[in-house]
Structure 1
Amino acid sequence: MENKINYQLPSAVAEEAAGKINEAVSLLSPYLIALNAEERQSLPKMSDGTAPFVEKCLDYCESDAQFAPPFLDLEGFQNDMDSWEKLMAILRPVQQLAANLDDTTTQAGSEGYTAALMYYNSVKQAAKLSIPGSKTIYDDLKKRFASNGNRTVE
């Protein structure tokens, strides 16, 4: 098994990054909303393919306002697009960061769990051979697998 996470993340780096993320959360929180699953599902979605159409419609609303329906809030439309553009510029790198954090924590956790299983299996063998001190450790560690009848320990 390749050990891809063969370093210690400096505490100062982790603390500074967490602080900056918390700062961004605090800075943006007055401008963010939360949608429930029903609301999210019911909304028409704007994607990279839809954005040019929406931007073109906004341009036409501004240049040829006579075709805009009287109930269309042009200022609200402009504000929506301005907010969308600015928030997307923030969201894209955050999504990349979240994906990379997820990949890295998955890898680090997998490596840690694999190392733990190696130790566990070594203690298990030592307990089978009645090596002093191993049975107490094995009895403590095997509790993790007690309720997992269908799982196998590697």
Structure 2
Amino acid sequence: MEQHPQYVPGFLDKPEFDRDFAAREQIEQRLQLLDSIVEQLSDTKVLLDHDNYHNSISFYRNVRFLSGENVPGTNVIYEDMKQFFVASPDAPLPPQSTETNNK
């Protein structure tokens, strides 16, 4: 429209179009920034999920061991937790810590 103003229809409000176009560019820049922030937060969440999962397994394995050793109070905890750590037949269990392997 800038290069060929003679073809802009009279009913088209060119200044309004220009304002809308400028606003759209500003929104696009903000969306790109937000996309970057969302990606960074998502990546951070994945790392935290990984840490939490492995720490939970370590805790569960320790409670399972203590329950097997008949440490008072651990059997109830083990029974409550074991439903969340059912091994899938397809998925191998994560490696156990060396402390548990030596027992």
TM bin (shorter chain): 0.5 to 0.7
Distance 1:75 1:121 in 2: 68
What number of residue pairs does the alignment pair up? 93
TM alignment of 1:1-154, pairs within 5 A: 61-69=1-9, 72-145=12-85, 154=94
Unaligned runs of at least 5 residues, structure 2: 95-103
Runs of 4+ in 1 over 6 A off after TM superposition: none
Q: Secondary structure at the match of 2:79?
A: helix
Structure 1 residue 74: deviation in Å? 3.0
Mark the runs of 5 or more structure 1 residues left unpaired by the alignment. Answer: 1-60
Alpha-carbon distance change, 97 to 132 in structure 1, aligned in 2, over 3 angstroms? same
The two structures, once aligned, show a CA RMSD in angstroms of: 2.7
Q: What's the TM-score, normalizing by structure 2?
A: 0.68
Larger radius of gyration: 2
The Cα of 1:68 is off from its aligned counterpart by: 3.1
The higher relative CO (CA closer than 8 Å, separation ≥ 6) is in 1
User: 1 CA distance for matches of 2:42 and 2:88?
Assistant: 29
* CA shift for structure 1 position 132: 2.6
Identity of aligned residues (%): 25
